[in-house]
Amino acid sequence: MKLVTFVSLFAVLVLFGAGFAESLNAAPSIETVSAVPYVAVPNAQGCSGQPTVQYGYANPPVINAGQVTTLYWGLVGNANAAYLQYPNGQRQGIGTPGSQPVNPTQTSTYYVVGVCGGNQQLFPITVTVNNTPGCNGTPQMNGFTANPQTVRAGQASTLSWGPVLNAQYVQLSSQNQGGSGVPAPSSIQVNPNQTTTYYLTAWCQTNTAQLQVTVNVSNPPPPTPPPAGNRITGISKNGGLSNKNQLTITVNYFWNGQDAPANMQARAFNGAGQQVGQSNATRIDPNKNFYANLLFKPYPSGVTSVTACMVGSSGTELVCQSAPMQ
């Protein structure tokens, strides 16, 4: 009986092993799986609305086939993710500001992408690739003007320029933003909020020529004052959440949404005024009377008072309040 049972078990193991090996052979190898560009769609925590891209440009913006240029970009604001998108649509995560060397074999456009939930902002950076230079020596430029040359903040001025001869590439840029390629002759409207200098640059291989014009902005509007109303209305020890190993305090507050997102955090001090602990930071809700529980762990030694502060996303302390703590 035992011999029959052993033989039966051995047969089952052999059949299972054969089936497992067959399933392994049937699975596709790594080489046969097509690569699909991954585009993350993060949630909107920490941002709201449309992202912003400070600037983006290539240096040099014109190369010959086989040469390398470097893409540069500034801060990507109001976003919880940032990417560099290649001409084939593939994206890679980036830090901002940042840079990336590339060597396209043909004229190509890259995009700096800011993502806030379902909202995206794409900033194009075009690299012109010359397979036939077609010029020699210094480019010849024919005028660059602004009309009117003095405006009020936000009003329009028209930049105009004439033909550019003996050039492979013409770029318009400013002191505040990276450049982009433009046809010549041409014109464009700008709406500066501050006095701004614009540059028209032409390239012929390694030779460059440049003209510049300044649009003066009179009586710029004063900066918007920060909204009032942020306040901390109470700080108390939370006995139900505190024990000998940790201290939890409850902070009552009203936050009007300034410098969003904002956190609440507290520091503990002893009788000599020395800091003896710091709590965790807790995200707070705008435009309502609410509370935040802040945790000190371990329990601050010798604590006699705590100071709670509402801190905006820029690191600015919007309002602080102190209270005794025994």
Q: How far apart are CA 83 and CA 307, in angstroms?
A: 39
Q: What is the mean pLDDT of the chain?
A: 82
> Which 3 state secondary structure label does DSSP give 59?
strand
Mean of pLDDT values over 67-78: 91
Domains assigned to the chain: 52-130 (2.60.40.10), 140-218 (2.60.40.10), 231-324 (2.60.40.10)
H-helix or E-strand spanning residue 155: none
Q: How far apart are CA 150 and CA 141, in angstroms?
A: 24
pLDDT at 116 over 60: yes
CA proximity to 287, closest of 230, 225, 234, 233: 230
Given a contact cutoff of 8 angstroms between Cβ atoms, the answer to whether 251 and 262 are in contact is no
Q: How far apart are CA 209 and CA 115, in angstroms?
A: 37
In which region does residue 272 sit, left (phi positive, over 0), alpha (psi from -120 to 50) or beta (all else)?
A: alpha
pLDDT in tens, 11-62: 433 433 444 334 333 333 322 222 333 344 444 458 999 999 999 999 888 8
pLDDT in tens, 75-85: 999 999 999 99
pLDDT classification of 157: cutoffs 50, 70, 90:
very high
Residue 132 DSSP one-character state: S
pLDDT classification of 221: cutoffs 50, 70, 90:
low
Is the alpha carbon torsion for 180, 182, 147, 189 positive or negative?
A: negative
pTM of structure:
0.36
Q: How far apart are CA 100 and CA 121, in angstroms?
A: 19
Q: Which residues pair with 181 in a beta bridge?
A: 171
pLDDT in tens, 177-215: 777 788 889 999 999 988 999 999 998 878 899 999 999
SS3 track for 68-102: CEEEEECCEECCCEEEEECCCCCEEECCCCEEEEE
